[in-house]
């Protein structure tokens, strides 16, 4: 099956089986050097990527869902200006996820940050998220290296950096 999508900002044409999971596509067909999550059942949550700005488990995304999708891997995300907001938030909180879940949790944080940047109907775009929502979304990755308080602290710090960035741009 021919599938055209965007991976880390580059237009990519894939010739793959329609049911091949995204994590294997990234490792075998795109040869993403840092992507090595080999799970197939979504239990660990270490294979998170951003698909159209939403955090998803790449092991559960079949190739046919990739048509015209915008996929961002951690490797690609680190090349964006938004990476620095989370990098500074980790420093502020004096904690960060363990090396196993660091890429996935970082992308989940970014997905949440993009959520507060987009206004929903009847809301302004400076709304914040409830602590429970942050913790629920971050449970997509099952690693328990950080407690709920640390996760919320990191997110709130990153959200403050992102708000300042938006104010400077306007």
The reply to whether 91 and 132 lie within a common domain is yes
- What is the extent of the structural domain holding 66? 2-73
Q: What is residue 32's predicted lDDT score, i.e. its pLDDT?
A: 67
In sign, the C-alpha dihedral spanning 8, 12, 15, 19 is positive
- pLDDT-derived band of residue 13, with 50, 70 and 90 as boundaries? very high
CA distance 109 to 159: 9
Mean pLDDT of the 118-131 span: 64
The reply to whether 47 and 22 lie within a common domain is yes
CATH code: domain of residue 118:
1.10.150
Q: Tell whether the model's pLDDT for residue 155 goes beyond 60.
A: yes
Q: What is residue 152's predicted lDDT score, i.e. its pLDDT?
A: 97
| Torsion angles phi and psi, residue 43, rounded to 5 | -75, -35
What mean pLDDT is reported for the chain?
A: 89
The reply to whether 87 and 68 lie within a common domain is no
The reply to whether 101 and 134 lie within a common domain is yes
In sign, the C-alpha dihedral spanning 102, 75, 6, 120 is positive
pLDDT tens digits, residue range 37-93?
A: 667 678 889 999 999 999 999 999 999 999 999 999 999 999 999 999 999 999 999
The reply to whether 89 and 137 lie within a common domain is yes
Q: Tell whether the model's pLDDT for residue 124 goes beyond 60.
A: no
Share of the chain above pLDDT 70, in %: 86
CATH code: domain of residue 37:
3.10.20.30
Q: Tell whether the model's pLDDT for residue 123 goes beyond 80.
A: no
Domain assignment present for 78: no
Which secondary-structure segment (H or E) carries 77?
A: helix 74-77
């Amino acid at each position: 099956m021919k599938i055209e999508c965007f991976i880390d900002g580059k237009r990519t044409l894939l010739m793959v089986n329609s049911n091949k999971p995204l994590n294997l596509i990234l490792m075998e067909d795109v040869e993403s050097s840092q992507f090595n999550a080999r799970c197939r059942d979504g239990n660990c949550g270490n294979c998170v990527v951003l698909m159209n700005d939403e955090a998803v488990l790449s092991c559960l995304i079949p190739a046919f869902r990739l048509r015209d999708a915008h996929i961002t891997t951690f490797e690609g995300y680190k090349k964006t200006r938004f990476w620095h907001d989370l990098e500074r938030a980790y420093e502020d909180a004096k904690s960060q996820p363990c090396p196993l879940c660091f890429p996935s949790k970082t992308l989940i944080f970014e997905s949440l940050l993009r959520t507060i940047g987009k206004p929903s109907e009847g809301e302004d775009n400076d709304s914040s998220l409830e602590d429970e929502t942050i913790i629920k979304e971050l449970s997509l990755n099952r690693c328990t290296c950080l407690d709920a308080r640390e996760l919320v602290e990191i997110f709130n710090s990153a959200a403050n950096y992102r708000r300042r960035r938006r104010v400077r741009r306007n």
